[in-house]
Structure 1
Amino acid sequence: MTPRDLRGLTPPQPLEIILAEVDAAAPGQQLGYVLPHFPGPLVPLLAQQGVAVDSQMLPDFSGVQLTLTLPG
């Protein structure tokens, strides 16, 4: 899975894209995204849907990589 880079978008576009793709994804699917910072407001919305969120700072500190795992 190659994470989708959303760093160049203005808010709330990244949040809207991620939520739409989570809604369209298959159970058990993993989705990846790169964002400029940790998306605090997004995490509770994903948790309500049972989506597991893992985050890692990029090695060059230019953003955060999120890996989402849908319940399945």
Structure 2
Amino acid sequence: MNPVDLRHLVPPEPMEIILDAADQLQSGQTLGWILPHHPTPLLPMLTAQNINYRFELSGDGGVILYINKA
């Protein structure tokens, strides 16, 4: 799975894209996005939707956010 680069978008677009995708996420599916920084405001919203998340460093100062639904 190749994460989608959202670093070129203006806030709150990346958060809206991720939340929309989380609403449609199927059990066992994993999605990923490259972000310019750690999306702290987004995390409680994902938790409230019972979405698991993890991060990796992108190697260029950003982060890669992966979400899934168990």
Same fold (TM over 0.5): yes
Distance 2:59 2:7 in 1: 15
TM-score, scaled to structure 2: 0.92
Deviations along 1:5-44, whole A, 9 cap, x unmatched? 1000000000000000111121221010000000000000
Structure 1 stretches (4+) deviating beyond 2 angstroms?
A: none
TM-score (norm 1): 0.90
Aligned to 1:18: 18
Q: Is the partner of 2:31 in helix, strand or coil? A: strand
- Cα distance between partner residues in 1 of 2:60 and 2:21: 27
- 1:32 — aligned with what? 32
Unaligned runs of 5+ in 1: none
Task: Give runs of aligned pairs for residues 1-72 of structure 1, distance below 5 A.
Answer: 1-61=1-61, 63-71=62-70
- Percent identity, please: 44
Count of paired positions: 70
